[in-house]
Structure 1
Amino acid sequence: MTKSIAAARVALGSSPMKWAVGGWSFFIAENYVLSENRTYLISKFNDDMYHVAYGTLSTIAMSSALYGYLRKVRNTEPLLWNMTGPTPLGARLAGFALLSVGLGMASQIPPKIQLPVHYSVEANDENYATPRSVTSPMSRVGGGEGGVVGWKVRCPFDFTDKRDAAASDGSVISGLERITRHPGLWSMGLLGLGNACLVPSLPQKVWLAMPVFVALIGGAHTDSRFRRGMGGTMSAEYDMATGNVPFTALLSGAQGDVTVALREFAGEVKPLNAIIAVGLSGLWVLRKGRGVRIR
């Protein structure tokens, strides 16, 4: 036990571990300090100078994090299993789950993906890429004024999907808002955490897991500022019905009956986008889990 504790201390105090934590910590700290003091800094300087300083420091912080990963952290010891050996089954399952959720959330941001060929009874639909006359076979439904039955070619992206059109004042919660107020941050964090499960290097695991802290701390601080009217606003109703940590509001009953909320959320998901995301996550885990070193 004593030897294990000593080894852990050495690992935590090693140069790779410091680089794994340092760059991301700098990024979190400078974002927190500058955004918390934005009103004061803008009053002392001006809005343009504030954003120049913000962007410059954020660029320096992320550059240091990327340098640390590429030159100091990646594939460094201590290793939890052989570098070229297969990833343990438990780690692969955890990685697949986290990657599926993270990539699944990201997949809901682009337009809805749909099959380019569709059998429809719609007489006119602006989403179709070809005129009605090219559909085949064609027949009237019931011989009346119904739609036209037939195979139609349409755009693979449904730019007319209206399911994301929630009220701009936040009075209607839908889609990714049901999961978290900060889907972009948490998608990045979960993708990093999923990949962290698949690598044997402990410093590399820590580096890949750090975006979760960016989402946790950054999201909470953004919420705090918006509650105080700094850089944005957030109504009390929206605050009560949504959350920072994914799924906490949805599963806690903050959006009403949990079963009903889950059913409504399922109807708001872009299904093919999510299926593709889960499939890509599975392929990545199968590839990475074999022990092949992906750089």
Structure 2
Amino acid sequence: MSAATILSKPMRWAAGGWAFFIAENFILSENRTYLIENFGDDAYHYAYGTLSTAAMSSVFYGYFRKVKDAPPLLFKGPVPLGAKVASFMCLSLGLGMASQIPPKIQIPVEFVTSNSADENNTIATSAAAEAVVGPAPPTEGGGGWKVRCPFDFTDNKDTNSSVHGLERISRHPGLWSFGLLGLGSAFLVPSLPQRVWLAMPTMVALIGGAHTDSRFRRGMGGELSEEYDKVTSNVPLLAMLSGAQGKVIDVLNDFSSEIKPLNAAVAVGTAGLWVMSKGRVRR
């Protein structure tokens, strides 16, 4: 890749707006205490909001006016298989993390018998459904199909575990979900400047998450205990796969019981459909 390509106007706009956003957040949050003490809390937040708005305005202006579909193109015709695979992996992880935020999805009907040990639990967890569809009709012999809510609002976190669910993947799942969605989309576009623009939220997650951790370790705006720091990571999956949370196979087994599996399955399916639908360049 030539220096002229790297320094071209579309490339500068692709990275520049995001770099401005990262820089102003880093500088203002790092000097938060000093700025508030010398200029006041209102002035600090006014400056923060103004600069963040200006940065994001430049990000979107650059995309729609300078970056979208700008040359050079990395490929012509169908998206390479390797790019599709990389896109699917990033989108699956990003959407998978985002899918854990809504209530747990469950199949809205269940077959139970009179001897079912969890019949009382089924009735209890379908209380929300009764408000919408009414109670399930009686069945002969005390068994049959029961209607329940398609969302399990009683899916509670195991408070006995210091690290649970998405925390095992990253300390900043929201940032990384956003970043991975951008990175996954970047693999599907042929325009190099557009790919850079779409991949930059990953840098926001990497740098922003690391800086937040650094501030919290110093007690600036939050806390990050040494114990929690050791068993979690900013970079997704690093703590899980490095053994920081215990034996990897045991951690994966615990993780599988902590997540919302149907939510994750919907997310992975959506990622697959997106890759297939966007996998070719329009002619």
TM over 0.5: yes
* Counterpart-to-counterpart distance in 2, 1:49 and 1:127: 50
State the Cα RMSD in Å: 1.8
- Cα deviation per residue 1:47-71 (whole Å; 9 max; x = unaligned)? 2322222122111111110110111
One-letter code aligned to 2:109: V
* Counterpart-to-counterpart distance in 2, 1:165 and 1:52: 40
Counterpart residue number, 1:267: 257
* Cα 1:220–1:138 shift into 2, 3 Å: farther
1:113 aligns with 2:119: no
Range with bigger deviation, 151-160 or 183-192: 151-160
Following TM superposition, the consecutive aligned residue runs of length 4 or more in structure 1 with deviations greater than 6 angstroms are: none
Are the aligned partners of 1:119 and 1:150 in contact in 2 as well (CA < 8 Å)?
yes
How much does 1:35 deviate? Answer: 0.5
Counterpart residue number, 1:151: 145
* Counterpart-to-counterpart distance in 1, 2:190 and 2:21: 25
Counterpart residue number, 2:274: 284
Range with bigger deviation, 215-224 or 55-64: 55-64
One-letter code aligned to 2:281: G
How much does 1:165 deviate? Answer: 4.8
1:97 aligns with 2:89: yes
Counterpart residue number, 1:18: 12
One-letter code aligned to 2:248: V
* Counterpart-to-counterpart distance in 2, 1:133 and 1:21: 56
Between the two proteins, the alignment pairs up a number of residues equal to 273
How much does 1:127 deviate? Answer: 2.9
Counterpart of 2:146 in 1: which secondary structure? strand
The correspondence of residues 33-182 of structure 1 with structure 2, limited to 5 A, is: 33-82=27-76, 85-120=77-112, 121=116, 122-123=119-120, 124-128=123-127, 129-130=129-130, 134-140=136-142, 149-162=143-156, 164-166=157-159, 172-182=162-172
Tell me which protein shows more helix as a share of its residues.
2
- Cα deviation per residue 1:117-165 (whole Å; 9 max; x = unaligned)? 222441331434239963353434xxxxxxxx33222222111101x35
One-letter code aligned to 1:134: A
* Counterpart-to-counterpart distance in 2, 1:59 and 1:49: 15
* Counterpart-to-counterpart distance in 1, 2:39 and 2:144: 64
Are the aligned partners of 1:87 and 1:198 in contact in 2 as well (CA < 8 Å)?
yes
In structure 2, list runs of 5 or more residues that go unmatched: none
One-letter code aligned to 2:126: N
Are the aligned partners of 1:136 and 1:151 in contact in 2 as well (CA < 8 Å)?
no
* Counterpart-to-counterpart distance in 2, 1:286 and 1:231: 43
Are the aligned partners of 2:136 and 2:147 in contact in 1 as well (CA < 8 Å)?
no
In the superposition, the TM-score normalised over structure 2's length comes to 0.91
The correspondence of residues 209-288 of structure 1 with structure 2, limited to 5 A, is: 209-288=199-278
- Cα deviation per residue 1:163-183 (whole Å; 9 max; x = unaligned)? x3547xxx7100000000000
* Counterpart-to-counterpart distance in 2, 1:157 and 1:51: 38
* Counterpart-to-counterpart distance in 2, 1:118 and 1:287: 34
One-letter code aligned to 1:125: A
Identity of aligned residues (%): 64
* Counterpart-to-counterpart distance in 2, 1:18 and 1:262: 41
One-letter code aligned to 1:23: G
* Counterpart-to-counterpart distance in 2, 1:283 and 1:130: 34
* Counterpart-to-counterpart distance in 2, 1:34 and 1:188: 22
Counterpart residue number, 1:197: 187
Are the aligned partners of 2:14 and 2:197 in contact in 1 as well (CA < 8 Å)?
yes
* Cα 1:74–1:258 shift into 2, 3 Å: same
* Cα 1:57–1:166 shift into 2, 3 Å: farther
How much does 1:229 deviate? Answer: 0.3
